[in-house]
Amino acid sequence: MSDTIFSKIIRREIPADIVYESDEVLAFRDLNPQAPVHVLFIPKRELATLNDAGQTDALLLGQLLLAAADYARREGFAEQGYRTVVNCNEDGGQTVFYLHVHLLAGRRMHWPPG
Ligand code: DGP
């Protein structure tokens, strides 16, 4: 049984502000938001990093992005815009080793990212 924070959130062992759930995907607000809207989309089937995804995970990866886009439409900021980010390993800035898509919105994003 995995012991990452996000596995515990899926198992409801620690609380989270859950904003979306399907059979495959769970989404909840980031504890340390970097924008007025900062939601994390995670697969219920655990993958540690994007490097661990293969062809059999292609549908699941698409579902994560589509869930983020649906959320943006539902919340009314899709047209204004938003950013999705997947950090991978040390240089990518990944700190929780359970694959997740960040959805950031509500302010103008900068490029290049830090
Ligand atoms: P990353 O650096 O890409 O691995 O992002 C991990 C994110 O997870 C970071 O933005 C903070 C967030 N986070 C860490 N611990 C918790 C937690 O216990 N609850 C929630 N909701 N978010 C967390």
Per-residue pLDDT tens over the stretch 14-56: 999 999 999 999 999 999 999 999 999 999 999 999 999 999 9
- Map out the domains of the chain with their CATH numbers: 5-105 (3.30.428.10)
| Ligand 1 neighbourhood includes 93 CB (under 6 angstroms) | yes
Instruction: Check if 100 is active-site.
Output: yes
CA of 88 to the centre of ligand 1 (A): 13
CA of 74 to the centre of ligand 1 (A): 23
Q: How far apart are CA 114 and CA 7, in angstroms?
A: 28
The single-letter code of the amino acid at 96 is: V
| Ligand 1 neighbourhood includes 16 CB (under 6 angstroms) | yes
Looking at every residue in the chain, the average pLDDT score rounds to: 97
